Chain A
Amino acid sequence: MKPFEYVAARTIDEAVEALASSKGPAKPLAGGTDLVVQLNEGRITLDRVVDIGRIPELKRVDVDAQGQLRLGAAAPCVDVYSHLNVQRLFPMLVDSASIIGSVQVQSRASIGGNLCNASPSGDSIPTLICLGAQAVIQGPSGRRVVPVEEFCTGPGQTVLQPAELVVEIVVPAPGENEGGKYLRFIPRNEMDIAVVGVGSWIRWEPQSGRITDARIALGAVAPTPVRAPEAEAALIGKEVSWDVIDEASRLAVNAARPISDVRGSAEYRRHLVSVLVRRTLLAALERAGVDVKDLGGEAYAG
């Protein structure tokens, strides 16, 4: 590791200023579980590391009276998944936050960091996309808001401009008859990186039995997490049935553009997309109040 300057910012303004005034490349440090490893292995070199983990508002996890979640960008995963209102209103976020790294890693790693690291396999990103989350960004020229879906631009690449940082992630309040589920496939049982990750979210109408909205986001099968529009279209307006789910899981594969690497071949990844889309859809429907046991077929929820 090359020596670098370390600045512990006390406010967001101080953090932006510290990033902007650095002579060479600078990055914010939240939990450091990605950044420190990258520095250690010489994959990146920085002149300045700006610690944002001491800024109180970046550590908060707030669910307001309407049910909207405001997540400080440096709040560790453990504070997210152990928050009772998050557990009640955003179980899909708990799916993601509770599987990033080990327990030790989860007590440092943040959802904001997972997003900014912009790994194609980042476990929180498909979930944030499904939940319609927005990233609040602050920089030298002020604040702006970007939907998480548009945040990642390539592996490790984001819309962040120099000296900008994500300060908050806002997740809209959930409505009635909605449910979401994130699942990933890993060779081991924990402490592993997704070979494929899938988030599925649906809203349905119990009276008609029809699906009124659906979002499916795929991880680790493209340079960034991607939506699966054909699969979503195949669900919306349809009555919930095994065949509809099966069809969507088949169509979701069309959105995947996976590579073959040491974690799995492209062929296996495409296959896993269909398996995980079916499983997450079933689990999402169950969370939305659908009795999936009535659907027939072989249910592999969860």
Chain B
Amino acid sequence: MATATQYRVIGTRPIRPDGYGKVTGKDQYGADVILPGMLYCKVLRSPHPHAIIKAIDVSKALALPGVMAVVTGDDLPRIESSEKVSSGEETIEARFMTALCLAQDKVYFKGQPVAAVAATSLATAQEALSLIEVEYEPLPVVDDVLEAMKEDAPLLHGDLYTESLAGKGSKPSNIAGRVEHARGDVDKGMAEADVVIEREFRTQMVHQGYIEPTNSTAYVAPDGRITIWTSTQGAWDIRNQVATILQIPEGMIRVIPMEIGGGFGGKFTAYLDPVVVLLSQKTGRPVKAVMTRAEVFQATGPSSGTYIRLKIGAKRDGTLVAADAFMVYDAGAFPGSPVGGASVTGLSPYNIPNFKILGFDVVTNRPRVKAYRAPGATAIAFAVETVLDEIAERLGIDPVDLRLKNAVGPGDRMTNGVPYPSIGFRELLTAVKEHPHYNAPLEGKWVGRGFAAGFWMNGSGVSTVHLTFNTDGTVNLIEGSTDIGGTRATMAQIVAEELWLEMEEVKPMVGDTQIVGFNDGTGGSRTTYSTGVAVWKACQNAIAEFKVRAARMLEVDAEEIVFEAGDFKVKGHPDRSVNIREVIRNLRHTGGHFEAVGVSGGLKMAPAFGASLVDLAVDPETGKVEILRWTQFQDVGKAIHPSYVEGQLQGGAAQGIGWALYEEYIFRDGHMLNPTFLDYRLPTALDLPMIDTCIIEVPASDGPYGVRGVGEVSIVPPPAAIANAIYRATGVRMNELPMTSERVWRAMSQRQSRVEQEAS
């Protein structure tokens, strides 16, 4: 790997190659796909959160002029096994994926697809839905994780048994899984503690809120070959899911990822793709489906709501001695909440000799959850980081100092026992203490400053890239990673750096499943790290071949060629050299064109730590929070394109602020009451402060330039930081997300009446 600390292109801020298409609106997104003879698909969805489907009659819909096909769950193969498919940062049983596309026999959440129509117009497809007759037998609804865990709770699945390290449970349960991590003796540790804080926390389901709705268009050619144009973070995940659900060999399927309008972990799942493939198979015509926002909210995966009980004990000097975490994560209709992620993140930033972490994955009659930016970590960090704040306050220790005293370093172990490679948590905390924001005075009534830290493991996975060469001396870069955060720019920067070219001489594009070799999806903060390694390797492979070609041009042996600053030189004869552009231009004369491929995989973990520092004001009469100042800190290893790194930090903070103050699914008996952007409130530009960033660069152990993934951890600390600031401003500790104006007002009113009671 490159050892130089001074780079020519890495660390600069070139204009993004995909910028023109974005700002002129000319880029093609999934909804822009229009094909000759294309049909429009609409999906009929269950009005019940839990019901048996007794009968479906589609005859009237089929009779409507313009309707070309109707499909139901009976048109999908029945998968009896517990085979799993990859869905980005998680796996899901294939039979449950089938149920997310079209229900078979039973519906488990409101909005679950029951039938789908392909028609010559959208209005006809919509009208046809009203002609489909479905007979349901409603079942009791389980709408709360704690209720779902009770012995006498109605069961969603008769064949679901609790899975844990101990094996499978003996009787069916809504508790799908149980995770446990432990170290030392918690009781002994608590007994040694000078201060013990125990608190309960609730958080609600929240959606990724990607602005581009889920969509898919498919065409099945007469020979059975399938092409899918879709909005996805992982084209290969979609291919695998479609192949599994429809029982079609992967080689028959080509998935073309279109430009993407946000994903945040939520766009790894083939909700519509198998359905439009089925309809195209039936009609022989291309079929397109685009969800409405209400469908996106109710039928794609949000992140889990949670119940968390946390107890932490510390010595008088701030040394943490024991922790006990009990976590319940709502999976929605089918198993697969991110409780596993929660169990290895929340307490992992700190060295705690005695702890016990118990987590449950619980099913309810709600939408099946999906990954959302650092899945599982934000809710547990909300608990851990507010309890630590309370301990710091109780002990009279600066909150950052408390964390510094207990912070993990390289070689320390995560809660699952895995030792950390190079990490920069202590460096990050030190940077916070030295930052002007932390040291600025904050005065006035009803204002407060809050701090919280966060941790995310980051993924690696497999990436493949191809470099091809043009006779004008430029280079094509084909990556298979969906570009969400600017990877065409950052990957091109690596090529420019390694091959000593200008940024404009590198032409990056995102390939589909048939153009480029296998790629894991754009998730888990893995792309810059892992795809970056693939690009770096492809560059080294290219340089090796260029040396051979340069040797031919210079009429020496390849061993005599060295590559320096863009020139291939003959060792000991600095005047005899040829520039890389000349080598590229002459490829066809020196042995013909070739392609350089780079494949990455098996990289070491490159974990990320982040922190949020916030100043805010609370309106004492309404409870409304106004953020006055925000600084987001993160150890990024090395920022390839600092603007995009800052953008990731700001984006994560913005979403974290949404979790903290506004966003929540509001349910009544399994019915979401606010499936619109009016009543599910994302923060707008007018609700956010300028989010300042502070980049810390502690190189990762592996990978090019010491890069770490940067996409996810920034969402982890904001809710806790805001809660801690609200406490400083008002004296109330918030233990439920979101901390809406009404909840803050209520907490303040209750505190006021307590104070008055105590006074009288």
Contacts and interface: CB of A to CB of B under 8 A. Distances in A.
Interface of A: 1-3, 41, 185, 187-193, 261-265, 268, 271-272, 275, 300
B745 interface: yes
B621 A275 contact: yes
A187 B123 contact: no
Given A1-B123, A268-B745, A263 B686 contact: no
For the complex of A and B, list the 3 residue pairs with the smallest distance between their C-beta atoms, beginning with the closest: A190-B686, A189-B686, A268-B742
A275 B679 contact: no
A185 B687 contact: no
Given A190-B684, A190-B686, A191-B684, A263 B622 contact: no
Contacts of B745: 268, 271
The main secondary structure of chain A at its interface with chain B is: loop
A188 B123 contact: no
Given A1-B123, A187-B662, A192-B681, A264 B742 contact: yes
Interface of B: 123, 126-127, 294, 621-622, 624, 661-662, 666, 673-674, 678-679, 681, 683-684, 686-687, 740-742, 745-746
A185 B742 CA distance: 11
Given A189-B684, A190-B686, 12 more contacts: A2-B127, A41-B294, A185-B624, A187-B662, A188-B687, A192-B678, A192-B681, A262-B679, A265-B742, A268-B746, A271-B745, A275-B621
Nearest to A40: B292
Nearest to A272: B622
The main secondary structure of chain B at its interface with chain A is: loop
A287 B681 CA distance: 33
Contacts, number: 48
B742 A189 contact: no
Contacts of B741: 185, 187
A21 B686 CA distance: 45
Given A188-B687, A262-B679, A275 B742 contact: no
A188 B686 contact: yes
- Between B621, B666, B684, the greatest number of chain A beta carbons within 10 A of the residue's beta carbon is seen for B621
Nearest to A190: B686
B621 A3 contact: no
Contacts of A188: 662, 681, 683-684, 686-687
Contacts of A189: 684, 686-687
Contacts of A271: 745
Contacts of B679: 262-263
A191 B678 CA distance: 8
Contacts of B683: 188
Contacts of A185: 622, 624, 741
Nearest to A279: B621
B59 to A, nearest CB: 22
A193 B622 CA distance: 16
A26 to B, nearest CB: 19
- Between B127, B622, B624, the greatest number of chain A beta carbons within 10 A of the residue's beta carbon is seen for B622
A162 B7 CA distance: 73
Contacts of A191: 684, 686
A275 B623 CA distance: 12
Nearest to B680: A262
A215 to B, nearest CB: 23
A3 B123 contact: yes
- Between B673, B679, B742, B746, the greatest number of chain A beta carbons within 10 A of the residue's beta carbon is seen for B742
Nearest to A42: B126
Contacts of A264: 742
B349 to A, nearest CB: 32
A187 B745 CA distance: 12
Nearest to B123: A3
Nearest to B676: A41
A271 B744 CA distance: 13
B658 to A, nearest CB: 10
Nearest to A2: B123
B120 to A, nearest CB: 13
Nearest to B745: A268
A45 B666 CA distance: 28
Contacts of B681: 187-188, 192
Contacts of B123: 1-3
Contacts of A261: 673
A262 B673 contact: yes
A286 to B, nearest CB: 18
A3 B126 CA distance: 11
A262 B666 CA distance: 7
A141 B661 CA distance: 52
Contacts of A272: 622
A261 B678 CA distance: 14
B506 to A, nearest CB: 38
Nearest to A193: B678
Contacts of B666: 262
A275 B687 contact: no
B622 A275 contact: yes
Contacts of B678: 192-193
A185 B745 CA distance: 13
A265 B666 CA distance: 13
Given A3-B123, A188-B686, A192-B681, A300 B740 contact: no
Nearest to B682: A188
A41 B292 CA distance: 9
14 contacts: A41-B294, A185-B622, A187-B661, A187-B741, A188-B683, A188-B684, A190-B684, A190-B686, A192-B678, A262-B679, A265-B742, A268-B742, A268-B746, A300-B621
B300 to A, nearest CB: 19
A222 B354 CA distance: 56
Contacts of B684: 188-191
A3 B673 CA distance: 28
A300 B742 CA distance: 19
A292 to B, nearest CB: 17
